[in-house]
C-alpha cells in the first residue's frame, strides 16, 4: 500500500499509442486516433486541474487542438482507483457514443453486439500509474510498472477486419450465439455487407468516411465515427478537431486509401519527428529550484509550438503535434506534389519552425525527423512504419538531423541522413552540362553508379572484407558538383558560418590523401562530430546539441569513449557512404525533370 504522506508526485500513462495510431488507411483514421488519445489524456488532466489538492505539472492544460500527450505528471497523490475510473469513463463515453449513434441511425438491424462492445470497453488499454517522493522517482517508478504488463486479448470467430486483419469485423450480429447448422457463413457475410453498405450511405458519413467495401473492427469503427460532428460535439469534453482536419472534412480530400486510386501515380511525402532526449533534459532539472515550474514552462512551450505548427506547413496537414512528438503529411488535391516543395520546408525547419516560439527563445532540445517520399502503391501502414524507422535512424546517427528516405513500391528504400544545418547542400548542386538549363542530378547519379561498378570506392577492412572507404574518391566527386559558389543567391538556407565550415570540411588534398596521418588530421575538422553550442549569450553554461555529419565521435572510437583513439577506417567508410547516398537520394528528390 502506498504511503500517501510520503507521496509528492503521481505519474500516469497508458498504452498502446503508436500501434493505435499506425493502423490507418485514411487521414480520418489518423485524426480519429489522435483525437481519442487526446480525449483520454484530457479527461485526466482536467480532473487534476480542478482538484484543490492536486497540481497538474505536465502536459500544460491549454486550449489546443493538436493533441494532448499521454505522459501525465501531477503534484500530489492522485489515487490509482480514482484516476483509473476517470480514464475508463472517458473511454466508455467515446465507445458508447459511437454505438448508440449507429443504432439510432440504422434502427432496422437486429443488434446483438453489446457483448463485444463491452469487451472492447474493458480491454482496449493498459493503464499505468505510479507515485514518488520526487518527480524523478515518480517517473522511474512508472517505468518499472510499465515493464510488468498485463495485456488481455479479445478472441473472436468469423471474419477479421479488412483494415488490420487483427480483430473481428463489427456488425450487428457479431455477439449472436447461433448453431452453425442453422446459420451459414454466407448469411453472416450478407449481413456484414448490408450493414456497411447502409452505414456508408448515411448522410453524415458517406464513402469519404466509410466505404461499403470496408469491414472494420470496433476500435477502427470508433476511430472513424469520433470524427463525425454529431458524435464529438455530444461528448462531455469538447475538444475541437484541428483546422487541418476541418478542411479535409469539408471536401478538400479526406480519402487517403492504402494505395493510390487506379491510374494515379502521385508520390506521397510523410514525416514524423520527436524531440531529442527530452527525458534527459527533464532529468537534468531534477532537484533544481522551482523544478515543477520549469517543467510546466517546458510543457507549455512545446504544446504552444505544436498548436502553431500547422501554420508553417502550407502544402500539407499536421495530423498531431502533442508537444515534441509530431506527425504530418505533405499533400495537394488538385496538382501533383513535388519533392522539392517538401525539402523547402525542411531547409528552414530548425531555424524557423522548430525554434519558433512566442518568447523568441530557441528550444532547449533539438529534434530528429524522418521523412519518407513514398511511391504511389505503397500501403499507408507501411509508409507510417517507414516514417518511424526513418526517425529512429536519424536518432541513431546522432540526433539533431533529418533522415530522407525514398520508399519504392517493392519495399526497398534509399536513405540519406543529414544534420539540419548541412541540409542546404542539396540546393548547391550544379550539373556539369545542364539539360535545357535544368539540373537533373543525373550526371552525379550515373557517375556514382559507374564508380561503384568499378569498385572505385572500395577498399578492404582489417578482415579483408570489401568496404566503401575510399573517401578521397568520394570527396573529389563531391567537389565536381558542389561548391559554395553554387548556392542560390536569393533563396539559400545556409548561415554564413555553417556554409564556410562545411565546404572547408569537404576539401581534400589528393596528393597527401594516401598518408594515414592526413586522415587523422582530417577527422579532427569541425562539422564531423556532434558538439555542444551556446544558445544564450547571457548564460554561457546553457548549451544545446549541434549535430555533426557522423554524429557522436564515441561511435567511431576503438574503446567507445568520446576522446578515444579514432577508428579511421570506420569513419572513412561512414563518410564515403554519406556522400554516395547524398547523390542517390538527391537524384530522386531534387532533379528538375
Contact 318, 66 (CB under 8 A): yes
Do 472 and 522 belong together in one domain? yes
What pLDDT, on a 0 to 100 scale, did the predictor assign at position 62?
66
Pairing of strands 401-407, 126-132: unpaired
Q: What is the CATH number of the domain that holds 405?
A: 3.30.70.270
CA angle (37, 41, 44) in 5-degree steps? 150
d(CA 231, CA 95): 10
Q: How far is CA 172 from CA 75, 118, 175, 220, 231, in A?
A: 45, 14, 8, 15, 19
Give domain status of residue 417, yes or no: no
Q: Is residue 419 part of a domain?
A: no
How far is 54 from 8, CA to CA, in rounded Å?
A: 10
* Per-residue model confidence (pLDDT) at position 587: 97
Domain containing 301 equals: 260-411
| Residues 562 and 577 grouped into a single domain | yes
> For the chain, how many structural domains are there in total?
3
* 416 belongs to a structural domain: no
SS3 486: helix
CA distance 366 to 356: 12
Residue 455 lies in a domain: yes
Q: Is 173 within the bounds of a domain? A: yes
Q: What beta strand segments (E) does 469-524 contain? A: none
Question: Is there a single domain that holds both residue 239 and residue 270?
Answer: no
CA distance 448 to 148: 50
Nearest-angstrom CA–CA distance, 379 and 372: 13
128 near 142, Cβ under 8 Å?
A: yes
Question: According to the model, what pLDDT value does residue 244 have?
Answer: 56
Report CA-CA distances (Å) from 403 to 99, 286, 517.
42, 32, 32
Number of CB atoms found within 10 A of residue 311's CB: 11
Neighbour count for residue 258 (Cβ, 10 Å): 16
Cα–Cα distance, 152 to 150 (Å, whole number): 7
Q: Are residues 93 and 215 in the same domain?
A: yes
HEC per residue, 248-279: HHHHHCCCCCCCCCCCCCCCEEEEEEEECCHH
User: Pick from 480, 380, 459, 369: which is nearest to 418 by CA?
Assistant: 369
Task: Round to whole Å and give the CA distance between 211 and 315.
Answer: 27
pLDDT of residue 209: 84
pLDDT tens by residue, 408-442: 999 999 999 999 999 999 999 998 776 666 778 99
Is the separation of the CB atoms in 319 and 30 below 8 Å?
A: yes
Same-domain pairing of 436 and 550: yes
> How many residues make up the chain in this entry?
593
Q: What is the CATH number of the domain that holds 244?
A: 3.30.70.2220
CA-CA distance, 589 to 572, in Å (whole number)?
Answer: 26
Residues 192 and 214 in one domain: yes
pLDDT of the residue at 289: 87
Residues with pLDDT less than 70, the chain? 1-7, 62-66, 179-183, 206-207, 240-264, 357-360, 434-437, 490, 537-538, 592-593
- If asked whether residues 269 and 246 sit together in one domain, one would say no
For residue 224, give the nearest of 332, 101, 118 by alpha carbon.
101
CB burial class (10 A; 0-12, 13-18, 19+) of residue 535?
middle
Same domain? For 295 and 201 the reply is no
Give domain status of residue 29, yes or no. Answer: yes
User: How far, in Å, CA of 48 to CA of 66, rounded?
Assistant: 21
471 and 545 part of one domain:
yes
Nearest in space to 272 (alpha carbons), one of 223, 224, 336, 317: 317
Residue 262: what pLDDT? 45
The reply to whether 233 and 170 lie within a common domain is: yes
Run of H or E residues at 226: none
pLDDT per position as a tens digit, 130-150: 999 999 999 999 999 998 877
> What are the cell numbers at 215?
469491414
Instruction: Verify that 182 and 268 share a domain, yes or no.
Output: no
- 420 in any annotated domain: no
**Strand locations in 361-439, DSSP E?**
367-374, 401-407, 413-419
| Residue 146 domain-assigned (yes or no) | yes
User: What is the pTM assigned to this prediction?
Assistant: 0.91
Assess whether 338 and 449 both reside in one domain: no
Closest among 140, 76, 130 to 283, alpha carbons compared: 140
Scan for cell 556522400, then name that residue.
579
Amino acid at each position: 500500500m502506498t504511503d500517501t504522506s510520503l507521496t509528492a508526485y503521481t505519474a500516469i500513462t497508458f498504452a498502446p499509442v503508436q500501434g493505435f495510431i499506425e493502423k490507418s488507411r485514411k487521414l480520418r483514421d489518423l485524426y480519429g486516433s489522435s483525437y481519442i488519445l487526446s480525449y483520454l489524456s484530457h479527461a485526466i488532466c482536467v480532473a487534476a486541474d480542478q482538484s484543490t489538492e492536486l497540481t497538474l505539472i505536465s502536459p500544460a492544460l491549454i486550449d489546443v487542438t493538436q493533441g494532448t500527450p499521454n505522459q501525465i505528471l501531477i503534484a500530489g497523490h492522485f489515487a490509482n482507483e480514482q484516476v483509473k475510473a476517470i480514464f475508463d469513463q472517458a473511454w466508455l463515453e467515446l465507445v458508447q457514443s459511437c454505438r448508440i449513434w449507429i443504432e439510432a441511425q440504422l434502427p432496422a438491424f437486429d443488434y446483438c453486439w453489446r457483448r463485444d462492445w463491452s469487451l472492447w470497453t474493458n480491454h482496449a488499454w493498459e493503464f499505468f500509474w505510479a507515485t514518488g517522493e520526487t518527480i524523478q522517482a515518480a517517473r522511474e517508478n512508472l517505468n518499472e510498472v510499465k515493464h510488468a504488463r498485463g495485456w488481455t486479448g479479445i478472441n473472436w470467430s468469423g471474419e477479421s477486419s479488412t483494415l488490420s486483419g487483427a480483430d473481428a469485423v463489427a456488425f450487428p450480429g457479431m455477439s449472436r450465439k447461433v448453431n452453425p447448422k442453422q446459420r451459414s457463413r454466407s448469411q453472416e457475410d450478407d449481413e456484414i455487407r448490408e450493414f456497411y453498405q447502409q452505414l456508408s450511405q448515411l448522410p453524415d458519413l458517406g464513402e469519404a468516411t466509410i466505404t461499403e467495401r470496408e469491414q472494420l473492427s470496433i476500435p477502427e469503427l470508433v476511430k472513424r465515427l469520433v470524427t463525425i460532428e454529431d458524435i464529438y460535439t455530444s461528448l462531455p469534453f469538447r475538444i475541437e478537431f484541428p483546422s487541418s482536419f476541418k478542411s479535409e472534412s469539408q471536401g478538400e480530400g479526406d480519402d487517403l486509401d492504402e494505395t493510390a486510386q487506379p491510374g494515379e501515380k502521385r508520390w506521397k511525402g510523410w514525416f514524423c519527428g520527436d524531440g531529442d532526449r527530452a527525458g534527459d533534459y527533464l532529468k537534468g532539472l531534477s532537484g533544481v529550484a522551482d523544478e515543477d515550474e520549469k517543467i510546466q514552462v517546458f510543457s507549455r512551450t512545446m504544446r504552444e509550438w505544436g498548436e502553431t505548427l500547422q501554420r508553417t506547413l502550407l502544402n500539407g496537414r499536421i495530423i498531431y503535434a502533442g508537444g515534441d512528438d509530431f506527425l504530418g503529411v505533405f499533400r495537394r488535391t488538385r496538382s501533383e506534389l513535388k519533392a522539392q516543395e517538401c525539402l523547402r520546408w525542411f531547409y528552414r525547419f530548425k531555424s524557423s519552425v522548430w525554434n519558433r516560439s512566442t518568447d523568441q527563445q530557441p528550444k532547449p532540445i533539438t529534434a530528429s525527423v524522418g521523412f519518407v517520399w513514398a511511391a504511389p502503391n505503397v500501403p499507408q501502414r507501411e509508409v507510417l512504419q517507414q516514417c518511424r524507422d526513418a526517425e529512429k535512424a536519424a536518432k541513431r546517427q546522432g540526433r539533431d538531423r533529418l533522415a530522407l528516405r525514398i520508399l519504392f513500391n517493392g519495399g526497398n528504400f534509399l536513405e540519406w541522413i543529414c544534420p539540419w544545418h548541412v541540409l542546404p547542400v542539396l540546393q548547391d548542386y550544379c550539373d556539369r552540362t545542364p539539360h535545357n538549363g535544368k539540373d537533373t542530378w543525373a550526371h552525379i547519379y550515373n557517375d556514382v553508379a559507374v564508380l561503384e561498378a568499378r569498385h572505385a570506392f572500395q577498399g578492404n577492412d582489417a578482415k579483408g572484407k570489401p568496404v566503401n572507404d575510399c573517401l578521397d574518391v568520394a570527396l573529389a566527386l563531391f567537389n565536381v558538383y558542389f561548391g559554395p559558389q553554387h548556392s542560390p543567391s536569393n533563396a539559400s538556407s545556409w548561415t554564413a558560418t555553417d556554409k564556410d565550415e562545411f565546404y572547408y570540411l569537404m576539401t581534400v588534398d589528393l596528393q597527401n590523401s594516401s598518408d594515414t596521418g592526413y586522415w587523422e588530421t582530417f577527422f579532427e575538422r569541425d562539422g564531423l562530430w556532434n558538439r555542444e553550442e551556446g544558445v544564450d549569450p547571457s548564460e554561457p553554461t546553457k548549451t544545446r546539441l549541434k549535430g555533426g555529419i557522423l554524429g557522436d565521435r564515441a561511435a567511431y572510437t576503438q574503446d567507445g569513449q568520446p576522446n578515444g583513439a579514432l577508428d579511421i577506417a570506420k569513419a572513412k567508410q561512414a563518410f564515403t557512404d554519406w556522400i554516395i547516398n547524398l547523390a542517390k537520394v538527391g537524384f530522386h528528390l531534387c532533379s528538375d525533370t
